[in-house]
Structure 1
């Protein structure tokens, strides 16, 4: 398996949407709006990181990262997601490659840290962990996790961009 990673280009947008739809088609916890979220983030210039995994010139994975607000006023924090890998390519390390690449990019950008909503067993492999004083309203605390790049974890409510409130069309 020869996977290359690179930043999204305008010519990739339709293929990215198809990868996201396919990745979440049969997912256990999904609103089936993940592709709409990425589209809205892109349109509102809030898609800070958009990285593709490509195999044989075909997009097989994608990761999106966007800024979040924290009620305490902390800045330079970002939210990871969605992360998408074609179903037939899941379990082969593509998601891990996307995660490592995206987190490295955030560090290069001077980010303070990153939050994610998802499976604690998966995301803990990358250093994410739950901090009860940093929370996403309405979400069980163990599923909302953070990774600080500078050892400081802010306190307060995390607020994602309005794109995350998308309804399926």
Structure 2
């Protein structure tokens, strides 16, 4: 019942739009800082994460450290580009309300990766807010391009079904 209300209610759609705009702004500014700053290199972040894999209670789990060391770190140049542009594109998608669920999914993927790598910062808060966007279905994008496109697609579909019904009756 609560999920249905979140997915269909007008008040939740407004609140979700505010959350979506906040998340979009956060991701957009993070991406722009990395792109325009010109000094971002993911290998430093990765090395720092690897340094947190030791001890009796490591901040970064050894299996994640193994993954970073053997798959991600050798391809740090590629992941530097993916992080910069991924953050920017997720921010644009969330701000515009375009491909909202897809943008939220990739935001969640990046945030969880950052958390697994031992970085907390605002990531737990962003993960929680992103979950609301994801479980809301199309309601989070209702006040954005997703809502506009959805209305146009529904209008076109109803016109086509009306035309088909008219042709069958003739």
Q: Do they superpose with TM above 0.5?
A: no
Structure number with the higher strand fraction is 1
TM-score, with structure 1 as normaliser = 0.29
Larger-gyration structure (1/2): 2
TM-score, L = length of structure 2: 0.29
